[in-house]
Structure 1
Amino acid sequence: MQYVVRPEKPGGSVSYGGVFAFTVATPGRYRIALGSGAWIDVLADGKPATSVAHSHGPACTGIRKMVDFDLGAGRYVLQVAGNGTADLPLMVTKLPA
């Protein structure tokens, strides 16, 4: 796995990761929801965005981790590192203003 930038917490030699791109059309607060406790980085022009909130998903939903970011319009790269399995439920959504 080759990341755009080295993850802050890359995981061990048997962890899994991935790189995904997404586009923000409307600036605002966006939530990344994961089905595991994997590490994520959201990058704009190769620089990490700063998260503004962290939480756990609701009980019995399969969502384990949620991280919020204030993002402007543009293209972003989402890096996932340190996941325990080769697959991972993942969602990016804009939160209501």
Structure 2
Amino acid sequence: MGTTSFAMAEDAGCEAFKWPVTREQALFAAAPSAPSGATLAVGAAADLALVPAEKAGFAVPPERAPAEGTFGAVASVAVPPEGAIQISLSGEAWIDVIQDGHAVKSAGYSGVKTCPGIRKSVRFKLAAGQATVQFSGAKKETLKVAVLVPE
């Protein structure tokens, strides 16, 4: 067995994503806490406080019904003119993006279990303007969320 340094092993796990997550890693390290219902800025991250799923106030029922005892949150995002956003999470949770009262199917998904601090990254193609982002099915009461324009 070779002696791989922890940093190298960590990088290898994170490189398994379909696109780079280095911006998320930097943002998550200093993500400010935010309550459920907060507005998430594109280009930034937040450490979102989740609430029991039944209290999250989802605009539409999550596509995947949350298991009992899980946590969720609702946030809003101002989608930039180009319409593409990438939402990355620190842990297990389901993401629904709602625009005009409908859930928008994701345009791309990448999930990696071996990257410390980042679990999944999902891309959406949206109309410019307001969107509601729902997080559900989380097993913990906090979730770091980054909203970025895809590179």
- Using structure 1 for the length normalisation, give the TM-score: 0.89
Q: Which of structures 1 and 2 has the larger relative contact order (alpha carbons within 8 angstroms, sep 6+)?
A: 1
Which structure would you say has the larger Rg? 2
Asked if 1:28 corresponds to 2:83, the answer is: yes
* Structure 2 residue runs without a partner (length 5+): 1-54
Q: 1:6 aligns with which of 61, 73, 82?
A: 61
Deviations 1:61-92 (A, max 9, x none): 41101111112211000000000011000011
Structure number with the higher helix fraction is 2
Instruction: Map 1:17-96 onto structure 2 (within 5 A).
Output: 17-56=72-111, 59-96=114-151
Q: What's the offset of the Cα at 1:59?
A: 4.9
Q: CA RMSD in A?
A: 1.6
Q: 1:79 and 1:7 mapped to 2: Cα distance?
A: 7
**Structure 1 residues 69-78 or 54-63, which shifts more?**
54-63
CA drift of 1:95 comes to 1.2
- Between the two proteins, what is the percent identity of the paired residues? 33
Would the aligned equivalents of 1:31 and 1:93 in 2 still touch at CA under 8 Å? Answer: yes
Cα separation, partners in 2 of 1:62 and 1:79, compared to 1, 3 Å: same
